[in-house]
């Protein structure tokens, strides 16, 4: 999507719609990214107005944002079951599969998602795709021996993510390899193949995890529920 202000408007619409599902007393998962930003801000407003929630964050960035919005996250290990997790995605298809990790938080995001009773993705309209893979697939890799993993992944055109002149490091101190495939015909098979490679901690393929996708559209939202 070329128009950044329209994209931001759609992100905000989707994010604020998701917050409508949060009820008093719930434990809420906070994803990461520029779309989740709007959800955390809105949640913060509601907390200031009296909403009582517990929140579990998926990244240092979201923890800082939550705190500055008036929400003090609790540790995932103290939280118990998370009722609803709200997260963004880089690409989502109508089978409720997606690519995440553009913001580098895929490992903690997946752990939060798998501890959640319900997973809502919030996306702008440009992120809904027929086939996954145009967005480079992020894979989290242990630094020790990463050159060997790079070689194994050669056919997928891996690029080690950088921040400035240094390698980007995740909140766990790992590297991100972005795999450039253009098209992923069988996301589940690829995920299984990648997870068998020693040194790969997690992939940005989120399969069968989201149950609701809220799409921001110019002036409205569309909500898809998994059947
Ligand atoms: C971070 C993520 C984000 O949810 C994903 O990259 C979407 O981000 P944004 O809302 O900024 O487009 O997976 O690891």
Residue 142: CATH number of its domain: 3.30.70.260
| Residue 225 covered by a domain | no
| pLDDT (0 to 100) of residue 85 | 98
Q: 63 with 116, same domain?
A: yes
Which residues lie below 8 Å from residue 116, measured CB to CB, with a gap of 6+?
A: 29, 81, 82, 83, 84, 85
pLDDT in tens, 84-116: 999 999 999 999 999 999 999 999 999 999 999
Could you tell me the residue range of the domain that residue 101 belongs to?
Answer: 4-128+207-219
Q: 200 with 211, same domain?
A: no
Whether 34 and 11 have beta carbons less than 8 Å apart is answered as yes
- How many domains does the chain contain in total? 2
Q: 119 with 87, same domain?
A: yes
| pLDDT (0 to 100) of residue 2 | 63
At how many degrees (to 10) do helices 60-68 and 34-48 cross?
30
- Output the domain CATH number for residue 113: 3.40.50.1360
CA of 31 to the centre of ligand 1 (A): 8
| Residue 178 covered by a domain | yes
**Catalytic one of 109, 154, 193, 222:** 109
| pLDDT (0 to 100) of residue 1 | 64
Which residues lie below 8 Å from residue 139, measured CB to CB, with a gap of 6+?
A: 101, 153, 158, 176, 177, 178, 179, 194, 200, 202, 203, 204
Instruction: Give the residue, out of 103, 110, 202, 215, with the most ligand 1 atoms within 8 A of its beta carbon, to mutate for a pocket test.
Output: 103
| pLDDT (0 to 100) of residue 175 | 98
Q: 29 with 103, same domain?
A: yes
- Cβ 104 under 6 angstroms from ligand 1: yes
Q: 98 with 182, same domain?
A: no
Q: How far is CA 132 from the centre of its chain?
A: 15
Q: What is the mean pLDDT of residues 13-26?
A: 98
Q: 215 with 199, same domain?
A: no
Bridge partners, residue 55, by sequence: 28
Q: 10 with 108, same domain?
A: yes
| Residue 226 covered by a domain | no
pLDDT at 36 over 70: yes
- Residue 218: left if φ>0, alpha if ψ -120 to 50, beta else—which one? left
């Amino acid at each position: 999507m070329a128009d950044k202000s329209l994209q931001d408007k759609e992100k905000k619409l989707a994010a604020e719609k998701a917050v409508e599902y949060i009820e008093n007393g719930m434990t809420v998962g906070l994803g990461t990214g520029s779309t989740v930003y709007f959800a955390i801000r809105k949640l913060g407003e509601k907390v200031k107005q009296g909403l009582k929630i517990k929140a579990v964050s998926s990244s240092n960035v979201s923890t800082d944002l939550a705190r500055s919005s008036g929400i003090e996250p609790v540790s995932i290990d103290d939280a118990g079951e998370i009722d609803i997790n709200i997260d963004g995605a880089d690409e989502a298809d109508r089978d409720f599969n997606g690519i995440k990790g553009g913001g580098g938080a895929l490992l903690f995001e997946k752990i939060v998602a798998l501890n959640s009773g319900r997973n809502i993705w919030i996306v702008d309209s440009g992120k809904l795709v027929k086939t996954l893979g145009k967005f480079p697939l992020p894979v989290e890799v242990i630094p020790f021996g990463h050159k060997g993993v790079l070689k194994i992944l050669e056919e997928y055109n891996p690029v080690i993510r950088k921040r400035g002149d240094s390698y980007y490091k995740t909140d766990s101190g790992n590297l991100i390899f972005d795999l450039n495939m253009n098209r992923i015909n069988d996301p589940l098979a690829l995920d299984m193949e990648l997870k068998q490679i020693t040194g790969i901690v997690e992939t940005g393929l989120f399969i069968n995890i989201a149950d609701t996708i809220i799409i921001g559209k110019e002036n409205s939202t569309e909500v898809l529920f998994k059947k």
